Amino acid sequence: AKSAGGNRFELADPEADARAITRHGLTTALPTALERGEFFIEYQPLVHLGDGSVRGAEALVRWLHPQHGVLGPDRFIPLAEHTGLIVPLGRWVLEQSVRQAREWRELQGGAEAVGPLRINVNLSPCQLTHPGLVQDTVDILERTGIEPDALCLEVTESALIGADDDLLKPLRRLAEMGVDIALDDFGTGYSNLANLRRLPVSILKLDRSFTQSMQQFPADPVDLKIVEGIVSLAHSLDLAVTVEGVETGAQAEQLRILGCDTAQGWYYARPGPPERLHELALVDATG
Ligand code: C2E
Ligand code: CA
Ligand code: CA
Ligand code: CA
């Protein structure tokens, strides 16, 4: 865009213009994309750090756009949040993911050593304030025949900072039913650690930045102390700790030694189609 207000001259930025046009185009295409079935979900395994077994997966949505190819969630989730489409889109992701979890369960048969695979689904702050959240979730679980404790909803730390009771009520209801609530991207939001006690969460997902600080072996002693402190606080509050963004064996080992429970990252597997997750879990269960 060009503007010449007073003495200021801005250079035209064709790339910024193109980005704005794409953003506009994507926003208007979103509702039909949902109707046309252009969204799909990839699953990334959640691995137990103690024994390396696959315990579940996080569902990550993608958009197969007819012109632009596969778009990651960072390209369209903010647009969907802005337009409100995130509510039906989020409901679709939840239903698909829970159905997928049931399918894995059927494939697992009775042979599972570590219990049925669990499914983690991201919730946007807009879904939290939507009055249908609890009922929609109950309906989906009932339709699918999956127990609430096989489902974990991930909510970002920033969405819950300063949350009042109205915002927490639906999460409490879900937690009472047995649905796990995970605090996603933990450590990025500067929330008061004492605040954790009033949140209905049972899992902390340590942000990738902590994992990145474990790149060297041994890691920076201060970083180690910070993670150690968070893990011991979490455990003392009966919260499990999941780490994300694990890219190397050295990171996995240090995080395991620090007491983290579950890990996720490219070291184990990139997000992929549901068959891949099932294969990984199966290989794992048979040794
Ligand atoms: P997130 O919930 O923090 O998800 C983790 C992101 O880290 C994913 O990016 C995943 O592909 C990526 N990742 C996993 N392992 C590694 C690793 O070892 N190294 C690195 N560098 N990255 C790794 P993705 O799939 O692009 O998703 C981005 C964000 O979009 C997610 O961040 C989540 O906030 C949001 N998102 C994804 N699916 C949904 C959804 O269905 N609903 C909502 N509301 N948000 C979603
Ligand atoms: Ca997440
Ligand atoms: Ca995260
Ligand atoms: Ca993140």
Provide mean pLDDT across the span 94-108.
93
pLDDT digits (tens, 9 = 90+) for 143-186: 999 999 999 999 998 888 878 888 999 999 999 999 999 999 99
Query: What is the arithmetic mean of pLDDT over 249-254?
Result: 95
Beta carbon of 152 within 6 Å of any ligand 1 atom: no
Pocket test for ligand 1, best of 95, 122, 140 (most atoms within 8 A of CB): 122
pTM for the full predicted model? 0.93
Predicted confidence band of residue 114 (pLDDT cuts 50, 70, 90): low
- The whole-number pLDDT of residue 35 equals 97
Specify the pLDDT at position 287: 54
Query: What pLDDT score does 191 carry?
Result: 65
For ligand 1, is residue 214 a contact (CB within 6 Å)?
no
Instruction: Answer whether 148's CB lies under 8 Å from 179's CB.
Output: yes
Q: Determine the atom of ligand 1 nearest the C-alpha atom of 154.
A: 2
Q: How many CB atoms lie within 10 A of CB 199?
A: 20
Whether 3 has a pLDDT exceeding 50, the answer reads no
Which among 115, 118, 123 is positioned nearest to 102, based on CA atoms? 118
- CB distance 252 to 49 below 8 Å: yes
pLDDT band at 17 (very low <50, low <70, confident <90, very high): confident
Query: Is ipTM strictly over 0.90?
Result: yes
Nearest residue CA, atom 34 of ligand 1? 122
From 88-97, 99-108, 126-135, the region with the lowest mean pLDDT: 99-108
* Pairing status of strand 54-65 against strand 118-122: parallel
Q: Is residue 92 over pLDDT 70?
A: yes
Q: Label each residue of the chain as H, E or C.
A: CCCCCCCCCCCCCHHHHHHHHHHHHHHHHHHHHHHCCCEEEEEEEEEECCCCCEEEEEEEEEEEECCCEEECHHHHHHHHHHHCCHHHHHHHHHHHHHHHHHHHHHHHCCCCCCCCCEEEEECCHHHHCCCCHHHHHHHHHHHHCCCHHHEEEEEEHHHHCCCCHHHHHHHHHHHHHCCEEEEEEECCCCCCHHHHHHCCCCEEEECHHHHHCCCCCCCCHHHHHHHHHHHHHHHHCCCEEEECCCCCHHHHHHHHHCCCCEECCCCCCCCECHHHHHHHHHHHHHC
Confidence band of 65 (pLDDT split at 50, 70, 90): very high
pLDDT of residue 77: 97
Rounded to an integer, the average pLDDT of 278-286 is 78
Q: What are phi and psi of 199, to 5 degrees?
A: -90, 140
Q: Which residue has its alpha carbon closest to ligand 1 atom 38?
A: 60
Distance 120 CA to ligand 3 centre (A): 11
Q: How far apart are CA 237 and CA 249, in angstroms?
A: 28
Please say if the pLDDT value at position 220 is more than 50: yes
> Which residue CA neighbors atom 14 of ligand 1 most closely?
265
Q: Using CA atoms, how far apart are residues 243 and 201, in angstroms rounded to an integer?
A: 16
Across residues 92-103, what is the average pLDDT?
97
Query: What is the average pLDDT across 84-112?
Result: 90
Model confidence at 111, in pLDDT bands (50, 70, 90)? low
Ramachandran category for residue 37: left, alpha or beta (phi over 0 → left; psi -120 to 50 → alpha): left
60 close to ligand 1 (CB < 6 Angstrom) = yes
Q: Are 267 and 248 in contact (CB under 8 A)?
A: yes
Give the tens place of pLDDT for each residue, 33-55.
Answer: 999 999 999 999 999 999 999 99
At residue 116, what are phi and psi to the nearest 5 degrees? -65, 150
Ligand 3 centroid–CA 184 distance in Å is 5
Confidence band, pLDDT 50/70/90 cuts, at residue 5: very low
- Ligand 1 in reach of 42 Cβ (< 6 A): no
Going by alpha carbons, the residue nearest to atom 33 of ligand 1 is 122
Instruction: State the burial class of residue 234 (Cβ atoms within 10 Å of its Cβ: 0-12, 13-18, 19+).
Output: buried
Query: Whose C-alpha lies nearest to ligand 1, atom 46?
Result: 122
Q: Which is more confidently placed, 172 or 108?
A: 172
Cα–Cα separations (whole angstroms), residue 136 to 63, 87, 140, 162, 256: 23, 11, 6, 25, 36
- Ligand 1: residue of 39, 42, 58, 77 to mutate (most ligand atoms within 8 A of CB) is 77
Given a contact cutoff of 8 angstroms between Cβ atoms, the answer to whether 96 and 42 are in contact is no
